Amino acid sequence: MEAKPLDLPARADHAILWRNDRLYLLDQRVLPAAEAYLELQSAAATAAAITDMVVRGAPAIGITAAYGVVLAARQGYADAPSDWKTAMTPGLDRLARSRPTAVNLFWALERMQAKIDALGADDPAPALLAEAQAIHQQDLAANRAMGDLGARLIEARTAVITHCNAGALATGGYGTALGVIRSAWRDGLVERVYADETRPWLQGARLTAWELHKDGIPVSLLADAAAASRMAAGGVGWVIVGADRIAANGDVANKIGTYSLAVAARHHGVRFMVAAPTATIDPQTPAGADIPIETRDPGELLCCGGQRVAAAGVDAWNPVFDITPAALVDAIVTEKGVVMQPDAEKIAALLAG
């Protein structure tokens, strides 16, 4: 993967770009120190970018995977025009293995597979590109709808806490949790955002603070362990987060540290909102205990900035996500509507609506 200059500045809402028959990703690993795009020309490179967290956030992973399918089909058709569906299978398999927890990845691949199944012998790339671009634009529209719905739940001007990055960088644009915050800021309902730093990848420090600062929204960074004390000090009305998967009963898988935020919020009388598109809801997963939780390299915890900070011989447990029980969630906000005090019956009604 090689960084390529583009004719536009790096922006959070340009994190995923299709230009000149190429996929470009804003490399989120190097923000905010550097703003560079990577040019991707294959499904394998796209899958590696997802695994290596060049792109992250469940909706953005799904959109990126959809474009990766286009690249797989283009290569498959070039290699075997009469049997391109078979030829592209390894690329599809590689994309499916890239991240296990974000259900949007599998939702996007299933939608692209349905399009593949409906195509004939002609070059599949144009039709699949149109489908990937539709997924991208529909996510952006869903984010804006979620933003407005979530903002309506905030009854008075307040400060909010968010965790990880659920902004334009994590989606097709605008954001889920940050979409709600952007809409609430527009409406005069948010006075300040407290962004957890989000160890060990520091998405809050590097990405969320970068996005909000660029938008002129007041943001203060918190050490993850300081969030409960910030709630106790008063003035925080909501915790607003995104999700990587929501089980059928309303349990939420999100970046590690979300569960402890929800526990602290309940103790301090702070309301807890999850903003996510319906594609993040997995009706085939009954409860949070059934969601596969990705565990990453212990070195991500044992080292910081390339320097080891833990004693030699010390191990680490490094799950990327945790499960917040539905009982701790006040509202799940989707593009289809809001579910208050979510449970299996309410989630099923939302999906059926």
- What is the number of other CB atoms lying within 10 angstroms of the CB of residue 317? 7
| Average pLDDT per block of 10 residues along the chain, 353 residues long | 63 90 94 93 96 93 97 97 97 95 90 97 97 97 97 98 96 96 98 97 96 96 97 98 97 98 98 96 97 94 92 96 98 98 98 93
Are 216 and 252 in contact, with CB atoms under 8 Å apart?
no
Residue 346, judged by CB atoms within 10 A of its CB (0-12, 13-18, 19+), counts as: middle
* Cis peptide bond N-terminal to 32, omega within 30: yes
Q: What is the pTM of this model?
A: 0.91
- Rounded CA-CA distance 353/342 in Å is 15
User: What pLDDT score does 139 carry?
Assistant: 94
User: What pLDDT score does 130 carry?
Assistant: 98
- Rounded CA-CA distance 90/246 in Å is 29
Beta strand pairing call for 245-247 and 281-282: parallel
User: What pLDDT score does 7 carry?
Assistant: 67
Q: Which CATH class is domain 155-352?
A: alpha beta
For the domain made up of 2-141, give the CATH fold.
Answer: Four Helix Bundle (Hemerythrin (Met), subunit A) (1.20.120)
Q: Where are the domains of the chain?
A: 2-141, 155-352
Question: By three-state DSSP, how is residue 332 classified?
Answer: strand
User: What pLDDT score does 89 carry?
Assistant: 97
**Residues annotated catalytic, as ranges:** 244
